Amino acid sequence: MLFGFLLAVALLMTLGVLFTGLFAMARGGEFNRRNANRLMRWRIIMQGAALVILALAMLAS
């Protein structure tokens, strides 16, 4: 139950960062120039966190 909740939160955070990066890239401009690499790094970190939570949930079951 706890792992399911944590996994859902990590996936939603990943989705939020992904869409923020996509919209920033589509619009271009100063925000995209300043934050594109930072958003990509955060997306990778969130994906990694989701994978770790998934692996822990599988090990716990």
Residue 27: the pLDDT is 92
Q: What is the pLDDT of residue 35?
A: 93
pLDDT of residue 18: 96
* Cα–Cα separations (whole angstroms), residue 38 to 3, 7, 31, 35, 43: 27, 22, 11, 5, 9
Residue 39: the pLDDT is: 95
Q: Where are the domains of the chain?
A: 2-60
Q: What is the pLDDT of residue 25?
A: 93
Local confidence pLDDT in tens for the 61 residues of the chain? 899 999 999 999 999 999 999 999 999 899 999 999 999 999 999 999 999 999 999 999 8
